[in-house]
Amino acid sequence: MGGCTNWLRKSLYVALVLAMVAPAGGCKQGPWALWSAYSSRFIDAQGRVIDPQGGDRTTSEGQAYAMFFALAGNDRLTFDRLLNWTRNNLASGDMSSHLPGWLWGKSPTGEWKLLDPNAASDADVWMAYTLIEAGRLWKAPSYSALGRQMMALIAKNEVADLPGFGLMLLPGPAGYVHQTSASLRSWTLNPSYVPLFLFERLAKEDPAGPWQHVALNIPRFLRLSAVHGFAMDWVSYIPGDGFYPSTGHPERDPDAPMGSYDAIRVYLWAGMIDAGDKQREELLGAVPAMSLYLADHDAPPEKVSDRGIPLAQDGPVGFSAALLPYLRSYAGLEKPRARQTIRLSMMKDRASGLYGKDQAYYDQNLALFATGFLEARFRFGAGGELRVEWESA
């Protein structure tokens, strides 16, 4: 009898937890508390997103994500501050002709400035997409015009035609094409840099551009680059030989190839694909191994080896958040979803409203994407268009 009682108690708890992450069903929600907590903690009055765990540095990725969250939360004042700071400090005052440099921080001489002018294409694509959608949703054509100008720069500087494969996004303008011999080149790519819905939306905005070709190649890219169904952080492409796990910068990165802090976003993006998207099943089918692992593990691994072997260390709380939309996309994974939801809930600091013992910047970004999506504060349509709760309200 005690066993039946325990089973019933556990079943009711699972049902309760799943109800907590169920879509809002069109009901008007209150203010986005996590975004408010995040912006208070990590964004200064100028509009600079600060990463305390990274020596108070600022990245173009952080600026891009915050711009997206500000749009999703209908926070135009913060959006403009973020945009202006990015333009003035990362893009030489003109984002129509300069892609933002990826890293700003304290130099060895103590000066705070742009440390690396090379762009990061994931940030660039997120910014261009967000500007396009900000112009549409806020009825402000100047945002969309800037987004289209960024698209032109991305197409010119960050898209490559890989021999034997097709068009794909490079991680940045410089440093990712390697001349290994007089007749042999290789390319370094990042699977987490290509959320399918972004490219589908950009393809509608610019049908003559490379976007549709990239979008059609993304599921195949993920499938061919995933080791035994696990996404990798970085991969190399060798024409005639295919994709292999690699490090981001082979010339200077001593770490072994793996799937970890970059790769976790591959599952997050896949989980947010609209159910009506024709490429959804192929995309999810490219990275099924994490769902199988979580069927009988309490937490996602922090690292997966280049042989597709999960390592023992549990990933941070942000990993659990990132995997919730992904797990929701598979039938029969209610218990794994509940376990990750419970882990996320237990690691929320009630005083600050942030997640994790260290309240790490990156964990909050993953949680903002995942919980904002699950709460239906934003969704991506079948054509990649952004749907926000406040628009219908």
DSSP state, 227? B
Q: What average pLDDT does this structure show over 145-162?
A: 98
Q: How confident is the model at residue 251 (pLDDT cuts 50, 70, 90)?
A: low
CB-count exposure of residue 293 (10 Å: 0-12, 13-18, 19+): middle
CB 267 within 8 A of CB 231: yes
Which pLDDT band, with edges at 50, 70 and 90, does 180 fall under?
confident
What pLDDT is attached to residue 84? 98
Those residues whose C-beta lies under 8 Å from the C-beta of residue 236, and which sit 6 or more positions away, are 186, 187, 188, 189, 243, 244, 245, 246, 250
Amino acid identity of residue 60, one-letter, is S
Residues in CB range of 59: below 8 A, 6 or more apart = 49, 51, 102, 103, 104, 120, 123
Average pLDDT of every residue of the chain: 92
Q: pLDDT by residue (tens digit) across 262-314?
A: 999 999 999 999 999 999 999 999 999 999 999 999 999 999 999 999 998 99
Q: Is 122 a catalytic residue?
A: yes
Confidence of residue 253 (pLDDT cuts 50, 70, 90): low
What average pLDDT score do residues 172-177 get? 96
- 12: β partners: none
Cβ atoms of 169 and 193 closer than 8 Å? yes
Question: Tokens 């926000």 map to which residue?
Answer: 388
What does the CA dihedral 264, 95, 205, 219 come to, rounded to 10 degrees?
-20
Contact 360, 47 (CB under 8 A): no
**Whole-number pLDDT of residue 249:** 67
Q: Poorest-confidence range of 16-20, 34-38, 169-173?
A: 16-20
Domain 30-157 in this protein, CATH class: mainly alpha
The predicted-structure confidence for 338-348, as pLDDT tens digits, reads as follows 999 999 999 99
How is residue 383 written in tokens? 């054509």
pLDDT at 309: 96
CB distance 354 to 345 below 8 Å: no
Please state, in angstroms and rounded to a whole number, the distance separating the CA atoms of residues 175 and 194: 18
Measured in degrees and rounded to the nearest 5, phi and psi for residue 63 equal -65, -40
Q: What is the per-residue pLDDT for 183?
A: 80
Q: Residue 4: pLDDT above 50? A: no
Q: Which pLDDT tens digit goes with each residue over 50-77?
A: 999 999 999 999 999 999 999 999 999 9
Rounded Cα distance between 248 and 255, Å, is 9
Residue 27's pLDDT band (cuts 50, 70, 90):
low
In this structure, which amino acid lies at residue 382? A
Provide φ and ψ at 217, rounded to 5°.
-85, -15
Distant-in-sequence, close-in-space partners of 141: CB < 8 Å, separation ≥ 6: 135
Cβ burial 220-229 (10 Å sphere, 16+ → b, else e): bbbebbbbeb
Best CA proximity match to 337, nearest among 351, 347, 323: 323
Question: CB neighbours of 238 closer than 8 A, spacing ≥ 6?
Answer: 184, 186, 244
Residue 95 pLDDT exceeds 80: yes
Q: Which of 75, 122, 233, 302 is catalytic?
A: 122
Minimum mean pLDDT range among 147-156, 248-257, 304-313:
248-257
Span of 119-128, 242-251, 268-277, 329-338 with lowest mean pLDDT? 242-251
User: What is the band of 8 on the pLDDT scale with cuts at 50, 70, 90?
Assistant: very low
Catalytic residue among 61, 158, 302, 363: 61
Average pLDDT for 88-108: 98
C-beta neighbour count of 22 within 10 angstroms:
11
Task: Give the C-alpha distances (Å, rounded to integers) separating 268 from 50, 112, 181.
Answer: 23, 33, 37
133 among known catalytic residues? no
Q: Name the one residue in this structure whose structure tokens are 């893009």.
A: 91
Number of neighbouring beta carbons within 10 Å of residue 121: 24
d(CA 76, CA 389): 15
User: 248 falls in which pLDDT band (50, 70, 90)?
Assistant: confident
Q: What pLDDT is stored for residue 7 in this prediction?
A: 39
Q: Please report, for the chain, the start and end positions of each structural domain, with discontinuous segments joined by +.
A: 30-157
